[in-house]
Amino acid sequence: MNDTKLKIMSMSEAEMIKDNKKCRDMMSPAINRIKRGLDILGSITGMIVFSPLFLLIYLVIKIENGGKVIFSQERIGYQGKPFILYKFRSMKESAEADGKPALCCQGDKRLTRVGRFLREHHLDELPQLWNVLKGDMSFVGPRPERKYFVEQIKAINPDYELLYQLRPGLFSPATLYNGYTDNMEKMLRRLRMDLDYLAHHTLWLDTKIIFLTVLSILSGKKF
């Protein structure tokens, strides 16, 4: 690593890179197959159970401002390969008209009224059940990011690539405890939490993360 990178990296980041060089997915192939089977079963069940909610959200988005209901965006996922992530559209269709990627921040004026509600309660992410079923994602894993921001993170901490061992997740401990990321500091904090998950995740931990996340959403917690 050159001196320039060391200058922009905090000591904690430098120490973490050194400690995580051998970090790898500790789940056995058999347990990973079980996890994938549960993802398939859960995503099918979820799409059936929430189908009335899918229809309701579709209608309110159409009534508010018309246009596309489903928003699609390329993200970087398993093995570093790009995939198309799906969400209910929460922003105006001209949100990134200038072509420059921009993170959603608190009080973002690009959000529609319906979109703000959907995002606050994580309902905009329901279409990602389809991503889980397809195998692009899992129920629990690191949240996928766009290549533009992945490259920025990797410039500071190249250990981001270790996360390519896992399928991205609909739920993650980083989202539960760190919330949405709207700046680089939060992105690096999320990375630390994702790497810790990589080193210690189990089916029991996945179950706990899903339970706590759903409980937080139902209780109205904003994160």
Q: For residue 6, is pLDDT > 70?
A: no
Domain count, the chain: 1
Choose from 6-15, 64-73, 198-207 the range with maximum mean pLDDT: 198-207
Q: For residue 205, is pLDDT > 70?
A: yes
pLDDT value for 4? 37
Q: What is the pairing mode between strands 169-171 and 138-140? A: parallel
Q: For residue 151, is pLDDT > 70?
A: yes
Over the Cα atoms of the chain, what is R_g? 18
Residue 56 in domain: yes
pLDDT (mean) for 202-209:
95
**Structure confidence by residue, pLDDT tens digits, 46-74:** 999 999 999 999 999 999 888 899 999 99
Q: How confident is the model at residue 180 (pLDDT cuts 50, 70, 90)?
A: confident
Whole-model pTM?
A: 0.86
Give the Cα separation of 34 and 53 in Å (integer): 28
Q: Name which of 106-110, 130-134, 140-144 the model is least confident about.
A: 106-110
The range of the structural domain enclosing residue 63 comes to 3-218
Alpha helices in the chain (DSSP H): 3-8, 11-19, 29-49, 51-65, 113-120, 128-134, 147-156, 173-178, 184-200, 203-218
Residue 195 in domain: yes
Residue 182 in domain: yes
pLDDT value for 104? 73
Q: How confident is the model at residue 15 (pLDDT cuts 50, 70, 90)?
A: low
Cβ contacts of 163 within 8 Å, gap of 6 or more: 142, 191, 194, 195, 198
126 close to 26: Cβ distance less than 8 angstroms? no
Cβ contacts of 134 within 8 Å, gap of 6 or more: none
User: 34-42 long-range CB contacts below 8 Å, 24 or more apart?
Assistant: 34/203, 35/138, 35/203, 35/206, 36/135, 36/138, 38/139, 38/203, 39/132, 39/133, 39/135, 39/138, 39/139, 40/132, 40/133, 42/132, 42/139
Residue 223 in domain: no
pLDDT value for 222? 73
